[in-house]
Every structure is written in C-alpha cells, then in structure tokens.
Amino acid sequence: MAVSEGLAIGALARRTGLAVSAIRYYEAQGLIAPWRNAGGQRRYQRADIRRLSFIMIAQQFGLTLPEIRDVLSGLPGSRTPTPQDWRKISVRLRARLDQRIATLTRLRDNLDGCIGCGCLSLPKCALYNPDDRAKSHGSGPRYLMGDSPDT
C-alpha cells in the first residue's frame, strides 16, 4: 500500500470516464505507456489521468489519434510533465484549433455568398477546394455545385 504502486487500469478508467478497452487501445496506438506490476497488470502514474484527459479534449477538437500522439511527443518522456510542459503543447493544440475554426468560417462565408447571390451553381461560386479535400486521382479542374460554365 505504498504511496506509489500506481493506478490499476480500472481506477484510471473511473477517474477519466474512459472505457478500460479504450485505454488499452490508446496504449496499442502509442499514446500512453504504463508499466507492469509483478503479476503483469498495467499500472499508471497519476499524471496519466491528465494525459488521457488531454487526449479526450484533443479528440473533441477533431484531431486523430496519430496527430494527438505527435502533439504529445512534445512532452518530456523522462519526467512527470510540469504545468509549463502542458501549457506548451496546449498552445500547439490551440494553433490547430484556430486553423479549423478559420476553415469552417471561410466555408460558411462562402456559403453565405452563395445564398446571397442565389447562384449555387457556378465554378466562380468557389465553395470548393478549401484545402481539406485531398488531390483526387484525376487531373483537371473539378466544378463545384454545378456544371461547366454553360449550365
């Protein structure tokens, strides 16, 4: 019952609200790294509660698990992260979030333009290629919300 035998996975699950299976899954994806006790069971640091919470928040922001793993790689591996450490990666998160908001806002404003002008059909409508849509296999221009110019 020493102070630092670590948390069992169930305790961590209760603390974070995550399912036990999800925590194991995150480990498989390289997002968290517990140690094992004598019996082979996973044990976690208290700091891992914060780590998992960060993961949950980042997911709400729309980051994928690999992206979150990348962001978390900014934390020191050797010691328990300090508030400063967290602050640093939160800033990285904030940057991504700002970008997403900007993209959505631009999209909305374009939609507004279309609603306003009533076109909703011309290439000039520009409601497209907002940079998310990866380059498709085909080449050449892709018309959006309508036919080629003569429609």
Nearer to DNA, 79 or 132 (CB): 132
Name the residue type at position 134: A
Sole binder of a second copy in the list 39, 76, 77, 118 (CB under 8 A): 118
CA dist., res. 83 & res. 125, Å (int): 46
Total interface residues for DNA by CB under 7 A: 22
Phi, psi of 24 (to 5 degrees): -65, -40
Total interface residues for a second copy by CB under 8 A: 52
Sole binder of a second copy in the list 50, 69, 75, 126 (CB under 8 A): 50
- For the bound state, the minimum distance from the C-beta of residue 56 to DNA, rounded and expressed in Å, comes to 8
Half-sphere exposure of 19 (CA within 13 A, CB side): 3
CA dist., res. 12 & res. 120, Å (int): 51
Nearer to a second copy, 42 or 55 (CB): 55
**Sequence-separated (6 or more) residues with CB below 8 Å from residue 24:** 9, 42
Q: Name the site residues for DNA (rule: CB under 7 A).
A: 8-11, 13, 19-22, 24-26, 37-42, 59, 64-66
